[in-house]
Structure 1
């Protein structure tokens, strides 16, 4: 039944895409984030969801929907450069087989994110993309929340739809980071959505989203989730008009939730303040130190999965030696540094820097125009979402997972929407001036008493 339901969802999206080609892009985002081939492995072995959807999406754009393309700015250029650089580093990778295997999906994620602004152009299309992203994330976060309440959570436990401790839907640190990174997008839709307005039962869904995110993320027992939560709470407090009341609510919420998490959760989180005393956290620090040395040895990068060459000897709680080999980077920054060198890290960080500068410019441009308030608030929501992601992902190696690339793509769509609105206003202004001139010319030919009557009526 699960496989049939998933197949029916995909078929419905493809069918709608025949009428509105941008829906096929939504279908690709759904396939990439929800990962139906992992949720129902048997179905995934029989049908290539990702490849089929990608071909249909590109075909629909080329044949049907090439109108009004966005401007290719610096952010898009950096994404293209980034895709080219990771391809170059793969050619000289220390472990070619493993490197090309990761490049295969990482390159497609970056490349397709540069194409999404060609599909998501209008306000409705951008909202639809946000809703698909949020529904995909919620599909696993809600599962984690329910199972954490009923049977308690735990680190490394596959409590989502994907029954393995891998991918964003099965790995706790990634899921916790994604859960909080999406909350600013939920707040934006709650205020501005046309497709799913905050009325009726949907109002309660918007109100429940932060609670579900906290329970689901904390149920993973992941330290990255706590970091993401702290950044989200700080941003929420900073943007609020009633800071004192929001601070009281946040403190009261923490006081209510933390005691319910149990001693196991508290013991794991407490290791964040003494990482050398925890084997997992200590190994992570050793990997980061080793990665800096690797980057100094290979400034242009060691290629994907360069961590396979590390080896450490640590001591467990009984004082016995424990050999650690091939430990992952556990940080997007050290992942990029180790795999693509100092050059790659500079491109990676420059992409985020340009993103934040672009969104700041969009907010400033939309501030003085009430009809563009939604664009300014969307730019702020995207900025906060990416900032939360960058904080949580500092402790998990997900530099090439799709969510933040899709947020960068929507940032390009947001800038393009502002540009189109500005051009539309500029086009209307000369027409309005000509109309005013014609009205004034005709009025000058009227008798004096008719002109005075018209001025009186206009003032009323």
Structure 2
């Protein structure tokens, strides 16, 4: 039954994408982030659902006239340059044939980001992408949070099998990044019960991220909380809530969780932490000797023997920064960081400029929450390998498209009334129903 449901949704979305290709972007995002087919037990598990969504969307893109240039901001230019550079890095790497499968996987994700930039342009599109990206993780987070609460946090929470976020650490960070996006959606809802449901889901996502036993996720949540407190209007109240909430969370989690978190300050005695340090030294030294990087696999024993002070600790980088540095060199890292600096700048522009425009006030909320999301990614990503995961690039799309919407005064060309959502001041009413013109013969 589950297999039939998933395949039915995929084919329905694919057919819809032929006429409205932006729907294909949503379908791809759902499949790529949530990986629902990996929770089936039959033919859907290995079905080429992502390929179906990809092909239907590309075909719809070719057919439709409702598309624009993807080069809408500096972040997009840096992103395309990064795509070109990692392709060169793979071609000139140590083993292009072995790295092809990972390059192919990353290029498909990046290609759909470009397609999204070409097809998405309205408020409806922005809200839809936020719902699909954050909602996909919210469903998994709610499930994982309930599991954590029911088991008292004695078992780890894992992500979708065979995905970018299968590992407990990567899954935890993705949930942490989804929380600000869910908060943005909550800020736009009018329905009180809908807002309460999203509050519950966000709390469950926090519980699931903690139940993953990820130290990187804990640091990301802490950084986001500090950032929200620092930029909030009511610092004493928010600070008091955080002071009261943290001990309650710690008291709930078991001793094994406390032991795991306390090892942050004892990295010399932790094999996982020392493995990361070994990988970081390896990536740093590789970048000096291989200008293009070595391709997508820097965790090679022969490289560690030559470039790491701990040659026996062959370990994945578990850091977005050292992952990109080892794979694609200093130029690759520069382009990667430029993407997020430009995205951060555009999100700040939304916060500053949109707040002054009543019709675009919701974009100020989006910019603020996207910055919170990027803080979580920057801090948590320092200890996790998520350089090529979809969600951060979806955040870039949201910020870029929203900025273009504000700059082109998008509210002047769109429907004024959206049921259930905060609407444009002065226009938040149903448009009058116009009776059809009678024709007499």
TM-score range, shorter-chain basis? 0.7 to 0.9
- Answering whether residue 331 of structure 2 is matched by residue 339 of structure 1, we say no
**How far does residue 41 in structure 1 lie from its aligned partner after superposition?**
6.4
CA distance in 2, matches of 1:158, 1:219: 6
Contact 2:282 2:304 in 1 (8 A): no
Contact 2:172 2:210 in 1 (8 A): yes
Name the structure 1 match of 2:404. 416
Name the structure 2 match of 1:438. none
Contact 1:180 1:213 in 2 (8 A): yes
Contact 1:83 1:111 in 2 (8 A): no
Distance 1:30 1:423, change over 3 A: closer
Distance 1:159 1:84, change over 3 A: closer
Which structure has more helix as a fraction of its residues?
1
Contact 1:140 1:169 in 2 (8 A): no
Give the 5 Å matches for 1:41-440: 42-44=42-44, 47-67=47-67, 72-153=72-153, 157=156, 159-160=158-159, 162=160, 164=161, 167-192=163-188, 197-309=189-301, 310-311=303-304, 324=312, 326-421=314-409
**How far does residue 129 in structure 1 lie from its aligned partner after superposition?**
0.7
**How far does residue 186 in structure 1 lie from its aligned partner after superposition?**
1.5
Distance 1:152 1:169, change over 3 A: farther
Three-state SS of the structure 1 residue aligned to 2:316 is coil
**How far does residue 281 in structure 1 lie from its aligned partner after superposition?**
0.9
CA distance in 1, matches of 2:405, 2:150: 44
Tell me which moved more, 119-128 or 145-154.
145-154
**How far does residue 402 in structure 1 lie from its aligned partner after superposition?**
0.9
**How far does residue 158 in structure 1 lie from its aligned partner after superposition?**
5.5
Contact 1:232 1:388 in 2 (8 A): yes
| Count of aligned pairs between the two proteins | 409
Three-state SS of the structure 2 residue aligned to 1:221 is coil
Distance 1:302 1:362, change over 3 A: same
Larger radius of gyration: 1
Contact 2:210 2:217 in 1 (8 A): yes
**How far does residue 148 in structure 1 lie from its aligned partner after superposition?**
1.5
Tell me which moved more, 67-76 or 269-278.
67-76
CA distance in 2, matches of 1:19, 1:92: 40
C-alpha RMSD of the superposition: 2.4
Distance 1:44 1:223, change over 3 A: same
- Specify every segment of 5 or more residues in structure 2 that has no aligned partner in the other structure, as ranges: 414-441
CA distance in 2, matches of 1:154, 1:344: 40
Instruction: Encode CA deviations 1:303-344: one digit per residue, 9 max, x unaligned.
Output: 1112223547xxxxxxxxx98464111000000000000111
Three-state SS of the structure 1 residue aligned to 2:212 is coil
Name the structure 1 match of 2:438. none
Distance 1:19 1:268, change over 3 A: same
Contact 1:158 1:170 in 2 (8 A): no
